[in-house]
């Protein structure tokens, strides 16, 4: 779906948002060349890749007609130390996003393994007041991509998409409130450790 089409929708869907994340991770957005995006370059260098992912997604959201109140590191409540990575409004509905990106050096997410990173951010998001609360993972390693694809096949509150070597996974906290997509099968754990 092209970004321009979103302004005709009543609400942004999970798949719409995954498309935005993949666009942010893809080729350079401003000159339509084969030059890698700033996010891809930051990830390859191993420096501030998760922050750059937030910046790139923020940039792509800012280009959408109808997106308002777009912010990064939004406090959960006044005086709270917890912050949502990205928050915005679209078509009179509010969205809170937690974003985790796989480390190119350690294959971890903010110093945590895949399952713990998802669990921690899902639990954190349950305390944020928004109409839509989504935990998003960007994965690169084959085992993490496989794990996320398998999890998304089993639950209708989990969404998965990919482009080139990037895979994105979204857990909708509101329709999957316990937010632990890996509890249901040891086979997924085995897939995650096969690297």
Residue 145 has what pLDDT? Answer: 86
Domain span at 137 = 3-192
| CA nearest neighbour of 159 among 177, 183, 143, 176 | 176
**Between 63 and 160, the higher pLDDT residue:** 63
Residue 156 has what pLDDT? Answer: 60
Residue 189 has what pLDDT? Answer: 41
Residue 95 has what pLDDT? Answer: 94
Would you give the distance in Å from CA 107 to the centre of its chain? Answer: 16
Handedness of CA 18, 154, 157, 174 (dihedral sign): negative
Residue 18 has what pLDDT? Answer: 86
What's the domain count of the chain? Answer: 1
Each residue's pLDDT tens digit, 115-140: 888 888 888 888 889 999 999 988 88
Has this prediction a pTM greater than 0.85?
no
Each residue's pLDDT tens digit, 66-95: 889 998 888 877 767 788 899 999 988 999
List, in order, residues 6 or more apart from 171 with CB less than 8 Å away.
Answer: 118, 122, 134, 135, 136, 157, 158, 179, 181
């Amino acid at each position: 779906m092209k970004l321009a089409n979103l302004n005709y929708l009543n609400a942004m869907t999970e798949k719409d948002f995954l498309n935005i994340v993949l666009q942010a991770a893809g080729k350079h957005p401003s000159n339509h060349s084969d030059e890698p995006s700033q996010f891809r370059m930051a990830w390859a260098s191993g420096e501030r890749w998760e922050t750059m992912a937030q910046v790139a997604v923020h940039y792509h959201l800012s280009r959408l007609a109808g997106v308002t109140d777009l912010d990064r590191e939004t406090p959960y409540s006044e005086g709270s130390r917890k912050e949502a990575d990205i928050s915005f409004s679209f078509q009179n509905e509010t969205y809170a996003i937690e974003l985790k990106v796989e480390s190119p050096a350690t294959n971890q997410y903010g110093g945590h393994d895949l399952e713990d990173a998802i669990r921690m951010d899902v639990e954190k998001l349950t305390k944020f007041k928004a109409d839509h609360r989504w935990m998003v993972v960007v994965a690169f390693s084959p085992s993490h991509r496989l794990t996320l694809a398998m999890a998304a096949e089993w639950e209708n509150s989990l969404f998965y998409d990919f482009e080139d070597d990037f895979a994105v996974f979204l857990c909708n906290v509101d329709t999957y409130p316990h937010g632990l997509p890996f509890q249901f099968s040891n086979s997924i754990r085995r897939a995650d450790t096969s690297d």
